[in-house]
Amino acid sequence: MTKNKKWFVMEKITYGENSFNFSISKIADTPEQAMKFKVLLEELNDRKDKTFFIASDSETIMNRVITQHNESVSNGTYYKKHNLKNSDDKDEFTI
């Protein structure tokens, strides 16, 4: 394992069907510590729209964010959320 590697306990809040908010809830030095934080946060959580997951590095987080962004562009929710009009050829949009 890389020295100084950090583990993030990420919080995901879901707003509606395709809208999410992510934030870092805790930062741990080991995967075991991250799992303990995650379990405790889940036990304290009283919201159905809030979940937690563990990410090992910024690449993991960015891949997840990019994937969800691409899905929202594909299904059109990105354009609705940002009040953009999607053109017919999908390569252009207008405000």
pLDDT at position 1 is 44
Percent of the chain with pLDDT over 70: 79
Q: How far is CA 25 from CA 9, 35, 76, 86, in A?
A: 6, 12, 30, 35
Mean pLDDT (the chain) is 81
Domain residue spans in the chain? Answer: 7-59+67-94
For residue range 50-92, list pLDDT tens digits in order. 999 998 876 666 777 788 888 888 888 877 777 777 654 455 5
Check residue 39 and give its pLDDT: 95
Torsion of CA 74, 53, 23, 31, to 10 degrees: -130
